[in-house]
Amino acid sequence: MSRYYTEYMWEYLDGKSVLVTGGTGSFGQACIRYLLEKTSARRVIVFSRDELKQALMNSALSFHDERLRFFLGDVRDLERLKSAFRGVDYVIHAAALKQVPMLEYNPFEAVKTNILGTQNVIEAAIEKGVAKTLLISTDKAANPANLYGATKLCAEKLMISGNFYAGNQPSCFAVVRYGNVLGSRGSLVHIVKEQRVSGEITLTHEEMTRFWITLNQGIELVLNSMAMMHGGETFVPKIPSMRVKDVIMSLAPECKHRIVGIRPGEKLHEVLVTTEEARRTKEFADYYVILPDHKWWENNNYVHGQSLPENYKYSSDGNTDMLDEGRLKEMIQGLL
């Protein structure tokens, strides 16, 4: 997102090797393309477990770039990660199982990928000397109400503590946490696009709100957070909110709504910074940095940030930045 961290560019990636776990997902594919088109990284590696998706992704790229590499593997496989991380400078850890209803019925699988897979990424990064590893997290990890959010909260905790496990090794770890991605696979935009032909859109609750961010904004947040990180931070962007109902009405005003109720594990509103986290959070113009509650943390890293008031909470329903129809349509231009 161009308004975030504008003091940073991508020079730190020059001549470096970058690996993206979950590289064939919505974020992964967009991030890989961004890295190839806008940075001078020496090598860009797609790490994922689906050979078909890798083949389709390779075919879909409209340019041939000899820096691009595809590496089949699963984050559940520690030895495969160690092989993939040889010579890698930066790892963006985006691999996760994330469909909330599906994971409620398949909890063991969520734990294996989202928690144990993250532990494997940390161990491989430390052993192979990866300089920086950044976890892509979600607002559902803040005060989680479903298994997906709980596994991502565990992944966050593991990633932050990875800095302690690294000891004297040159590896450091941090987290980025943001809201719903407009245009990603299975997003509200795609649901509206599919359902509008019937003339009726399903709606869970009329007052439900969510934070919204685009894929490119998420990528720029990740790359800039990686540039800034010392290890141990959780970066949270200041992003707009909007009622889900208003999003649907803006995208498909001609359609009727059918209320289906809140699904198991789903919240009415989401939170990006909890009241408990706010006590150790620093605020900047366009983002927050949640600092780790550990003795090894160097507290002078973010002395220029503002402390948050007592009982502060950054939630989608209490957000001071609410999207209107015009701004929403600017964000989703080309997605419908």
Enzyme catalytic residues: 140
The CA distance from 131 to 144, in Å, is 30
The CA distance from 126 to 123, in Å, is 5
- Name the phi and psi angles at 287, rounded to 5: -160, 165
CB atoms within 10 A of CB 108: 8
Q: What angle do CA 78, 220, 243 make, to 5 degrees?
A: 100
- Name the phi and psi angles at 20, rounded to 5: -120, 115
How is residue 112 written in tokens?
A: 């294996």
Positive or negative: CA dihedral 181, 147, 288, 314: positive
How is residue 125 written in tokens?
A: 């990064």
Which letter does DSSP use for residue 129 in this model? T
User: Is 54 strand, coil or helix?
Assistant: helix
3-state secondary structure 220-243: HHHHHHHHHCCCCCEEEECCCEEE
Unique residue bearing structure tokens 């997290």:
137
Kind and range of the H or E run holding 128: helix 117-128
The CA distance from 273 to 315, in Å, is 7
Please report which residue ranges of 197-324 form alpha helices under DSSP H. 215-228, 244-251, 275-278
Nearest-CA neighbor of 312 among 269, 267, 274?
Answer: 274
Kind and range of the H or E run holding 91: strand 90-93
